[in-house]
Amino acid sequence: VYYGGYHPELGLILRQAKEKGLNAKFMGPEGVGNDSISQIAQGASEGLLVTLPKSFDTDPANKAIVEEFAKNKQDPTGPFVFPAYSAIEVIAGGIKAAKSEDTAKVAEAIHAGTFKTPTGELSFDAKCDLKDFKFVVYEWHFGKPKTEVSPQ
């Protein structure tokens, strides 16, 4: 069953489904992928499939960034920490490439460029959509870390 909403509602659905004996496999987007789902659904959250950005904090190439977060008592493990960090890197790279802060010039430079970021090399297609981004499927485990189940 694919659920396209947020964790509070899905947590209740999972718990109620288990209580009623429904043994279906559930899957949801990043809106369901946080530890609160397990607090709400309890053991019924076990095996839930969730699409999230790849865990870039475990990439050895990002060790210095992770250490900097730790030094500042900040958590680098959230699913959107490294994508947000990379977005800022792309904007900064666009400003540098455009040699201007004019938004039209920066946008043009971003659309034409390829930017090395902690999430990989980022570039955009003719429609200005991101060409490649590492989303993966994780299996949720009650009381334990999630595991990646999608191919690399």
What does the pLDDT look like over 79-134, one tens digit per residue? 899 999 999 999 999 999 999 999 999 999 999 999 999 999 999 999 999 998 88
pLDDT at 44 (0 to 100): 95
What CATH number has the domain bearing residue 12? 3.40.50.2300
Residue 130 lies in a domain: no
Are 91 and 139 part of one and the same domain? Answer: no
What total number of domains does the chain contain? 2
What element of type H or E holds 106?
A: helix 103-112
Q: Are 137 and 29 in contact (CB under 8 A)?
A: no
Q: Are 87 and 115 in contact (CB under 8 A)?
A: no
The token duo for 72 is 């500042």
pLDDT at 151 (0 to 100): 66
Are 43 and 15 part of one and the same domain? Answer: yes
pLDDT at 35 (0 to 100): 85
Are 46 and 62 part of one and the same domain? Answer: no
Are 24 and 65 part of one and the same domain? Answer: no
Are 62 and 118 part of one and the same domain? Answer: yes
**Residue 38 confidence class, pLDDT cut points 50, 70, 90:** very high
Q: Using CA atoms, how far apart are residues 5 and 105, in angstroms rounded to an integer?
A: 37
**Residue 22 confidence class, pLDDT cut points 50, 70, 90:** very high
Are 81 and 112 part of one and the same domain? Answer: yes
Are 14 and 70 part of one and the same domain? Answer: no
Whether pLDDT at 140 is above 80: yes
Are 72 and 17 part of one and the same domain? Answer: no
Whether pLDDT at 150 is above 90: no
Are 78 and 62 part of one and the same domain? Answer: yes
Whether pLDDT at 147 is above 80: yes
Residue 50 lies in a domain: yes
pLDDT at 72 (0 to 100): 96
Range of the domain at 33: 7-54+135-148
Q: What is the pLDDT of residues 80-95, one digit of tens each?
A: 999 999 999 999 999 9
Are 17 and 36 part of one and the same domain? Answer: yes
